Structure formats: structure tokens, C-alpha cells
């Protein structure tokens, strides 16, 4: 909807009304068409201002409507009608002008923005391009290079940057609508041709071909198979090389392909999934909108290794005071310096002053006594963590929330060591903790809903995408990774090389395949865990690590690599070789080929040719099957939770939505059939056996992903 009023006798004020972001729904577009016509027809109206209700200009097209039949007036004729208006039209931009919202503003003859507004064309993040003439108008207004940057990244700019780039004409910290009304009145009757962007030539550049070639290479490198950034470059190229009308045709053509693509569907699903995870629930029925978080101002972090340092930085940047505790004096000094440097770099990047005076460094627990929330981030060792939790229980004031940063240890066990287990939750940060967006908030059997609500809110304030999950070995993310990694190891045994497995998964869209990733994070990390689990231990009789453990196939290849001191990048050798310890460039290692040949010969394994399709099916379907298992058990509450975890924590390509969305796209029946096929070939690998929920979903006709929750409820109630 859009409301029309006349202000000071001669200025027509059009207010978009569609909370919360005044998205351009069919009704809003119809409202704009009607009110613009009214303004043009009323002789008393000499100029027009367009603004948004509740100090929000416009968040763009209504993304929810993309999956249905599009109704209402189309955007492009509306935009052209505004630009062609004989009366000056001024956009009063408050809050946001994004996507179609900015395209609407670009149709206006003048743009006035509040200092705090953010502007951008984020369509690429939804698998689209700015197809309401944005790809043709922005380059004409601000030049090719700046337009390419904004359109291919979708980044939002501040009002100050928008002014510098020439997107807006004026920035104010006053009431923007009042300023715009006054300005509109002052330009009534002035000629408008010089204000119509479609009439501008695209500013020439020195070497257009080279510029676009370079831009295309850049987006292809970072897009990991995403098609929208490539289409964005093509659309801007049309703006640079074709007359406006032909450029628009090209924009339309490119958009038509994107709009119906699986990638656009995946990215739009991901947009809503990120918001859905905030509406968390626990098996007890407690949920986000019925529980009040505890107030948190003062926090503490115990242990200032890599994770602890990142957490201190994230908390400080979010405005919390932090007591940073490290018992080793030398480590404390080093941590202090590292944290200060990270804060300075972060502040520089964000254009603010660094916030260090809110951190108190301490080598003892005493200053923790009056904090509201503690995050323990000591080494991943249960005995050590138990000790810290006992100390915290003795020191902290009553009601302090105790969080443990762990990637998989048992929250219930740790909680049982404290007098108030209801105040214990897990917080699984991802390294580097001040950069990575994901946070798994893990509730134990006794964690109170208020404790979970508080941790979720803290995560949100730290700018994280927080997902509440149940307690089990590895929680959701690492638990699903285990069958994926196992398949990667088995494939090596059967004839694949680390390069072949990595390449298949990198072509799928992962930033790194499992072996390059394992070299980066340290192969010894998994080795230590497997030893603790009693897996990577040689049989006393044969001296070899058994290839069957607890009745299941087990591959010791990772353990044997570690026994050679090959821990990955840090030792200069792992699945690959590096030019030096700490080197980053992975090169195939002939040693590995020889090692694998010998290993296969020792165990009577006859290598066979493995194709990338098998790599993808075995690694991904095993991971997906585990995802269904976590849903069945209620460890993950919804498929969106898993997908957000994988996209933000495990580099699953966002244009493929996440593992569960991908399963829906591939077809559940196919996933089940292929799992059964591989399970038949490898009956000693139980993670290849389709789980109950997957079977049940297939049995009822493979309903689409948004209907799985209902099936899960029924299934759980039957258990």
C-alpha cells in the first residue's frame, strides 16, 4: 500500500506502507502507481516526495512472493513512469534502500538520505540481478567500476559512501522527510532532463574489455559455481556497451534465467532459513517468544588460546565488558597483544575507534566473581574443563550463566559438575571466533530455557547466526562431518587420491575439500579424538590399527599419516606437501601415492578407478543421512537449522542452500536409493544405511522441505 497526502499545499507526499521493511508487494506497487498518477494529475501538486513508513524507505521486492505467481503492476514501467514525470520526484531515504527499493530511488530525480541509512543492490545474494533497471542505471550514475563492485557483491553502503559515489545528492541528520519536502518545493518547475539517469551515457573507461575480463575472472574465482555474479557482470557490460533500451532487454533476458534457477531458490531459502533459526525451540516446548533472556552486561572468557582470543574480540566489539582470564603469565601477555591488534584491525575495517578499555586481563579467577556470563574456552579436554567449571562454581555470583566453548564434548557431563546445571550451556564457536558467523548454542538435558535464550541473544548481539541444538557427540555440525570424513578415507583405501576427492567436492562448491581442510585445521586434531575414543589404537597381537572397530569398517589412514609426523600445514606435510611448515600452497605429494599403494597392498585392497560422481554421492549422501538422523532424534529442530550450520560453519556453498535443501532438490528417493546401493556394497558401514526419517519421507511421497517438520513431529510422537 502507499498513502498520498499533500503537504504545504504543493508537495505530494507518497508514503510506502508495508511493515516491517516496506517491501514492494503487489499492493505496494499498485499503491505507488495510483499515487504517482494522482500526484501528476492534481494541478496543485508541483513536486513529489516518496518516503517509507516508520523511517524505513524500502527493502526491495517482496522476496516471499517470488515463489508464487507474480501479480500486480511490474516494476520497470512503474520506474519509467516516475522518471518520466514532469514534476520533480524526490526520494527521502531513511533506514534502508535495498534492491528494488534503491531502484525505485534511482527512478526519482533527486535522492536525499539520512546519515544512518544503508543502500545497496543485494539481489546477487538472492541469486538474482538488479532487474528493475538497476544494472543499467547504476553504472550510468556512478561509473562501471563502482557499479560492478556494488552489484556483484551486493554489499550495502553507508549514506556517506553513497554520497561520495554519487548515488545520493544530499545526506542529512535531520528529519529526512522534512528536508526532502523543503527541497522538493524548491525544485518545482525546474527542468528535469539532466536528472533522468536513463538518458545519461555510461561513463567511458580506459579499456572496457580488459575491465570486464578482469571482473569476470574475479567473480568466477570467488563465486564457487554461483551463476548470479557472472550474470551481474554480463548485465553491467550491457550497460557499458549498449544503448539503454537494449541494455534493459539484456537485463531482462539474464534475469529470466536466474529467476527460475535452482540457485535463486536455494539462496532465497537460505535468506529465510537464517531468520528462521532465531525462532528456536527446545524439545520441552520452550521457545524463543515465550522466554525472557537474562540481562548480560559483564562477561568473562577463561582461556586465551586462539578461540578465547577471538571470543574476547567478538564480545568487546559487541559492546560487552570482558574479564579475560589466562593462568599462564606468558600466554596472557601474548594474548593481550594479539587481542589489541585484532581490535585495532577490526576498528580500522569498520571505521570506528578501537574499544580496548572494556577488557580486564587477569591471571586469576577472582575478577570473574561479579560477571553475568562466563565463556570457558580452555583446551578441549574434559578433565581440564571440569576443573575450570568447579572453580567457576565456587567464584561466580549466584545466577551466573556458565557457557563452555566446545566442539563436541558432553554438556550434560560438564553441567553435572556444577551445583546449577540449569545455568550451563554449550557455545560452539568456529575459528576464528571473531570472524566466523556461526554459533551452535547447545542445550543439555537440564539447561533452562532462560539460559538458552540468553546464549542465543548474546550470539545475536555478537553478530552471529546462532542455532540452538541438542547435546550429542559432535552436536550437529561435527557429528554430520564424521560420516563425510569416513567416506573420504574409505575412498582413499579404494583407489582415490586426496586430490581427486578434494577436487570433486571443491567443484561442488566447498571452499576446500576434506583433505585440504584437514591439512589446514591439523590432522592431529581428529587423531587425538580417535585415540581418546579408543579407535586409533594398534591391536596388541598384530601391532596394526584394526580396520574393523565395534563391528564397523574403520580406516586408519589418517592415524598412520599422523604417526609419520605429518599433521598438515603446520608441519609442512600432511595429505599434501607444502614448501615449509606453515606454508599455505598445497601440492600433491608423490610420497602419499607410494604410501597409499603400500597401504592397499598390505591390506589386500585392489585399487579401482573412482569417478567424481561417486565421491559426491558417498561423501554428501552419508552426511545428509546423518542430518536426517539428527532431525529424527530432535538434536536439530528443523532442516533450516542444519542448513544454516553447514553454510555458515562448514563452507557448504550457499547457492546450494545447505545439505537438507540439496537433498530436497536432488530428490529424497534418489538419495535413499543411492545410499542403499552403497550400503549393499559396504554393509560394514552403517552410516550408509538410510535412516528411518528418510525412509518415512520417501514412503509418503517425498514431501517438500517445508513439510518435513510435520512428519518429524508424527515420527517422534510414535517413538
Ligand X SMILES: CCCCCC/C=C/CC(=O)SCCNC(=O)CCNC(=O)[C@H](O)C(C)(C)COP(=O)(O)OP(=O)(O)OC[C@H]1O[C@@H](n2cnc3c(N)ncnc32)[C@H](O)[C@@H]1OP(=O)(O)O
Q: How far apart are CA 502 and CA 514, in angstroms?
A: 6
Tell the smallest beta-carbon distance from residue 66 to ligand X (Å). 7
**Could you say whether residue 127 binds ligand X (CB under 6 A)?**
no
**Could you say whether residue 61 binds ligand X (CB under 6 A)?**
yes
Residue whose grid cell is 580488459:
210
**Cell digits of residue 225:** 559455481
- HEC states along 466-523? EEEEECCCCCCHHHHHHHHHHHHHHHHHHCCCHHHHHHHHHHHCCCCCHHHHHHHHCH
In this structure, what DSSP letter does residue 706 have? G
Tell the smallest beta-carbon distance from residue 630 to ligand X (Å). 24
Reference 654, options 274, 151, 267; nearest CA is 267
**Could you say whether residue 150 binds ligand X (CB under 6 A)?**
no
- The span of 127-135, 206-214, 546-554, 598-606 binding ligand X (CB under 6 A) equals 127-135
What Å distances lie between residue 566 and 562, 563, 575, CA to CA? 5, 7, 8
**Could you say whether residue 20 binds ligand X (CB under 6 A)?**
yes
For residue 14, count other CB atoms closer than 10 A to its CB: 24
Tell the smallest beta-carbon distance from residue 556 to ligand X (Å). 47
Tell the smallest beta-carbon distance from residue 124 to ligand X (Å). 9
The gap from C-alpha 41 to its chain's centroid, in whole angstroms, comes to 47
**Could you say whether residue 254 binds ligand X (CB under 6 A)?**
no
Q: Is the torsion defined by CA of 162, 167, 170, 173 positive or negative?
A: negative
Tell the smallest beta-carbon distance from residue 288 to ligand X (Å). 11
Residue number, 277 or 323, with CB nearest to ligand X: 277
- The span of 56-64, 141-149, 289-297, 558-566 binding ligand X (CB under 6 A) equals 56-64
**Could you say whether residue 106 binds ligand X (CB under 6 A)?**
no
**Could you say whether residue 613 binds ligand X (CB under 6 A)?**
no
In this structure, what DSSP letter does residue 61 have? B
Active-site residues: which are they? 103, 123
- The span of 28-36, 55-63, 157-165, 319-327 binding ligand X (CB under 6 A) equals 55-63
What Å distances lie between residue 98 and 23, 101, 153, 156, 157, CA to CA? 10, 5, 13, 8, 10
Residue number, 122 or 568, with CB nearest to ligand X: 122
Tell the smallest beta-carbon distance from residue 129 to ligand X (Å). 9
**Could you say whether residue 19 binds ligand X (CB under 6 A)?**
no
Q: Which of residues 343-402 bind ligand X (CB under 6 A)?
A: none
Q: Is the torsion defined by CA of 655, 657, 662, 666 positive or negative?
A: negative
Q: Which of residues 646-675 bind ligand X (CB under 6 A)?
A: none
Residue number, 271 or 361, with CB nearest to ligand X: 271
Tell the smallest beta-carbon distance from residue 1 to ligand X (Å). 15
Identified binder of ligand X from the candidate list 175, 209, 217, 275, rule CB under 6 A: 275
The burial of 332, by beta-carbon neighbours within 10 Å (0-12 exposed, 13-18 middle, 19 or more buried), is given as middle
**Could you say whether residue 126 binds ligand X (CB under 6 A)?**
yes
Residue number, 20 or 683, with CB nearest to ligand X: 20
**Could you say whether residue 151 binds ligand X (CB under 6 A)?**
no
- The span of 58-66, 79-87, 372-380, 652-660 binding ligand X (CB under 6 A) equals 58-66
Residue number, 151 or 179, with CB nearest to ligand X: 151
**Could you say whether residue 483 binds ligand X (CB under 6 A)?**
no
CA torsion, ordered 25, 119, 116, 146, to nearest 10 deg: 180
What Å distances lie between residue 591 and 307, 489, 569, CA to CA? 33, 17, 16
**Cell digits of residue 193:** 532532463
Tell the smallest beta-carbon distance from residue 147 to ligand X (Å). 16
- CA triplet 327, 328, 334: central angle to 5 degrees? 115
Residue number, 73 or 572, with CB nearest to ligand X: 73
**Could you say whether residue 59 binds ligand X (CB under 6 A)?**
yes
**Could you say whether residue 433 binds ligand X (CB under 6 A)?**
no
**Could you say whether residue 640 binds ligand X (CB under 6 A)?**
no
- The span of 119-127, 157-165, 199-207, 577-585 binding ligand X (CB under 6 A) equals 119-127
| Closest-approach residue to ligand X (CB) | 99
* Contact characters 205-244, ligand X, x per CB under 6 A: ----------------------------------------
Alpha helices in 513-667 (DSSP H): 514-521, 523-532, 557-563, 590-602, 612-633, 639-649, 659-666
Tell the smallest beta-carbon distance from residue 609 to ligand X (Å). 44
**Can you say whether residue 89 is alpha, beta or left, with left for phi > 0 and alpha for psi between -120 and 50 degrees?**
beta
**Could you say whether residue 131 binds ligand X (CB under 6 A)?**
yes
- The span of 30-38, 253-261, 343-351, 663-671 binding ligand X (CB under 6 A) equals 253-261
Residue whose grid cell is 569417478:
611
Q: Which stretch of DSSP H or E encloses residue 439?
A: strand 438-443
20 upstream amide cis, omega within 30 of 0: yes
In this structure, what DSSP letter does residue 397 have? P
Beta strands, E only, 303-437? 321-325, 359-362, 373-376, 401-404, 424-429
Tell the smallest beta-carbon distance from residue 25 to ligand X (Å). 8
**Could you say whether residue 62 binds ligand X (CB under 6 A)?**
yes
Give how many residues touch ligand X by CB under 6 A.
Answer: 24
**Could you say whether residue 706 binds ligand X (CB under 6 A)?**
no
Q: How far apart are CA 208 and CA 236, in angstroms?
A: 11
Residue number, 98 or 545, with CB nearest to ligand X: 98
Reference 716, options 682, 693, 698, 697; nearest CA is 693
342 upstream amide cis, omega within 30 of 0: no
**Could you say whether residue 462 binds ligand X (CB under 6 A)?**
no
> What are the residues facing 49 on neighbouring strands?
13, 90
Tell the smallest beta-carbon distance from residue 268 to ligand X (Å). 9
Residue number, 151 or 500, with CB nearest to ligand X: 151
Tell the smallest beta-carbon distance from residue 95 to ligand X (Å). 8
Residue number, 258 or 636, with CB nearest to ligand X: 258
Q: How far apart are CA 596 and CA 556, in angstroms?
A: 12
Identified binder of ligand X from the candidate list 13, 15, 82, 123, rule CB under 6 A: 123
**Could you say whether residue 259 binds ligand X (CB under 6 A)?**
yes
**Could you say whether residue 255 binds ligand X (CB under 6 A)?**
yes
> What are the residues facing 61 on neighbouring strands?
24
Q: How far apart are CA 39 and CA 188, in angstroms?
A: 13
- The span of 252-260, 393-401, 437-445, 525-533 binding ligand X (CB under 6 A) equals 252-260
* Contact characters 66-105, ligand X, x per CB under 6 A: ---------x--------------------x-xxx-----
Q: Which residues bind ligand X (CB under 6 A)?
A: 20-21, 23, 59-64, 75, 96, 98-100, 122-123, 126, 128, 131-132, 255-256, 259, 275
Amino acid at each position: 500500500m502507499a498513502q498520498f497526502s499533500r503537504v504545504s499545499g504543493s508537495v505530494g507526499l507518497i508514503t510506502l506502507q508495508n511493515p516491517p521493511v516496506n517491501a514492494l508487494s503487489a499492493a505496494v506497487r499498485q499503491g505507488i502507481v495510483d499515487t504517482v498518477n494522482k500526484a501528476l494529475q492534481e494541478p496543485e501538486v508541483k513536486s513529489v516526495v516518496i518516503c517509507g513508513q516508520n523511517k524505513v524507505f524500502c527493502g526491495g521486492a517482496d522476496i516471499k512472493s517470488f515463489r508464487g505467481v507474480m501479480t500486480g503492476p511490474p516494476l520497470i514501467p512503474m520506474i519509467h513512469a516516475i522518471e518520466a514525470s514532469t514534476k520533480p520526484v524526490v526520494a527521502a531515504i531513511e533506514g534502508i534502500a535495498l534492491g528494488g527499493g534503491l531502484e525505485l530511488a534511482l527512478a526519482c530525480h533527486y535522492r536525499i538520505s539520512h546519515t544512518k541509512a544503508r543502500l545497496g543492490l543485494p539481489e546477487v545474494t538472492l541469486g538474482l540481478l538488479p532487474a528493475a533497471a538497476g544494472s543499467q542505471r547504476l553504472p550510468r550514475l556512478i561509473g562501471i567500476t563502482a557499479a560492478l563492485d556494488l552489484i556483484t557483491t551486493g554489499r550495502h553502503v553507508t549514506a556517506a559512501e553513497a554520497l561520495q559515489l554519487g548515488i545520493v545528492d544530499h545526506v542529512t541528520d535531520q528529519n529526512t522527510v522534512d528536508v526532502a519536502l523543503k527541497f522538493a518545493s524548491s525544485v518545482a518547475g525546474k527542468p528535469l532532463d539532466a536528472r533522468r539517469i536513463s538518458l545519461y551515457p555510461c561513463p567511458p573507461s580506459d579499456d572496457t574489455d580488459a575491465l570486464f575480463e578482469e571482473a569476470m575472472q574475479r567473480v568466477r574465482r570467488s563465486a564457487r559455481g554461483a551463476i548470479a555474479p557472472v550474470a551481474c557482470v554480463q548485465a553491467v557490460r550491457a550497460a557499458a556497451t549498449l544503448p539503454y533500451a537494449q541494455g534493459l532487454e539484456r537485463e531482462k533476458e539474464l534475469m529470466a534465467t536466474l529467476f527460475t534457477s535452482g540457485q535463486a531458490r536455494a539462496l532465497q531459502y537460505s535468506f529465510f532459513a537464517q531468520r528462521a533459526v532465531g525462532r528456536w525451540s527446545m524439545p520441552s516446548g520452550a521457545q524463543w517468544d515465550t522466554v525472557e533472556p537474562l540481562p548480560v552486561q559483564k562477561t568473562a572468557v577463561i582461556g586465551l588460546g586462539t578461540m578465547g582470543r577471538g571470543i574476547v574480540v567478538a564480545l568487546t566489539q559487541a559492546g560487552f565488558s570482558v574479564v579475560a582470564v589466562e593462568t599462564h603469565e606468558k600466554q596472557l601477555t601474548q594474548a593481550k597483544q594479539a587481542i589489541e591488534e585484532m581490535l585495532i584491525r577490526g576498528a580500522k575495517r569498520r571505521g570506528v575507534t578501537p574499544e580496548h578499555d572494556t577488557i580486564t586481563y587477569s591471571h586469576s579467577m577472582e575478577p570473574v566473581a561479579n560477571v553475568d556470563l562466563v565463556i570457558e574456552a580452555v583446551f578441549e579436554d574434559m578433565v581440564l574443563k571440569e576443573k575450570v567449571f568447579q572453580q567457576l562454581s565456587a567464584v561466580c555470583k549466584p545466577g551466573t550463566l556458565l557457557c563452555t566453548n566446545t566442539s563436541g564434548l558432553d554438556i550434560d557431563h560438564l553441567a553435572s559438575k556444577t551445583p546449577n546445571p540449569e545455568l550451563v550451556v554449550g557455545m560452539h564457536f568456529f575459528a576464528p571466533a571473531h570472524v566466523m558467523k556461526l554459533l551452535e548454542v547447545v542445550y543439555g538435558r537440564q539447561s533452562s530455557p532462560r539460559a538458552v535464550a540468553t546464549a542465543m541473544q548474546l550470539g545475536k548481539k555478537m553478530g552471529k547466526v546462532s542455532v540452538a541444538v541438542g547435546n550429542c557427540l559432535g552436536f550437529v555440525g561435527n557429528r554430520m562431518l564424521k560420516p563425510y570424513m569416513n567416506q573420504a578415507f574409505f575412498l582413499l583405501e579404494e583407489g582415490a587420491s586426496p586430490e581427486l576427492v578434494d577436487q570433486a567436492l571443491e567443484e561442488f562448491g566447498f571452499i576446500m575439500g576434506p583433505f585440504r581442510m584437514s591439512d589446514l585445521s591439523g590432522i592431529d586434531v581428529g587423531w587425538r579424538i580417535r585415540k581418546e575414543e579408543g579407535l586409533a589404537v594398534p591391536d596388541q597381537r598384530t601391532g596394526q590399527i584394526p580396520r574393523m572397530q565395534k563391528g564397523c569398517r574403520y580406516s586408519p589412514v589418517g592415524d598412520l599419516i599422523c604417526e609419520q609426523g605429518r599433521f598438515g600445514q603446520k608441519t609442512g606435510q600432511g595429505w599434501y606437501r607444502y614448501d615449509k611448515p606453515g606454508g599455505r600452497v598445497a601440492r600433491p605429494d608423490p610420497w602419499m601415492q607410494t604410501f597409499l599403494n603400500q597401504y592397499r597392498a598390505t591390506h589386500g585392497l585392489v585399487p579401482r578407478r573412482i569417478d567424481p560422481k561417486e565421491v559426491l554421492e558417498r561423501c554428501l549422501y552419508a552426511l545428509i543421512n546423518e542430518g536426517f538422523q539428527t532431525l529424527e532424534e530432535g538434536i536439530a529442530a528443523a532442516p533450516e537449522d542444519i542448513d544454516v550450520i553447514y553454510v555458515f560453519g562448514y563452507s557448504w556453498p550457499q547457492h546450494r542452500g545447505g545439505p537438507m535443501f540439496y537433498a530436497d532438490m536432488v530428490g529424497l528417493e534418489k538419495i535413499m536409493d543411492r545410499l542403499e546401493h552403497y550400503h549393499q556394497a559396504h554393509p560394514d558401514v552403517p552410516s550408509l544405511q538410510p535412516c528411518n526419517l528418510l525412509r518415512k519421507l520417501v514412503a509418503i511421497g517425498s514431501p517438500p522441505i517445508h513439510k518435513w517438520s510435520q512428519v518429524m513431529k508424527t515420527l517422534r510422537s510414535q517413538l
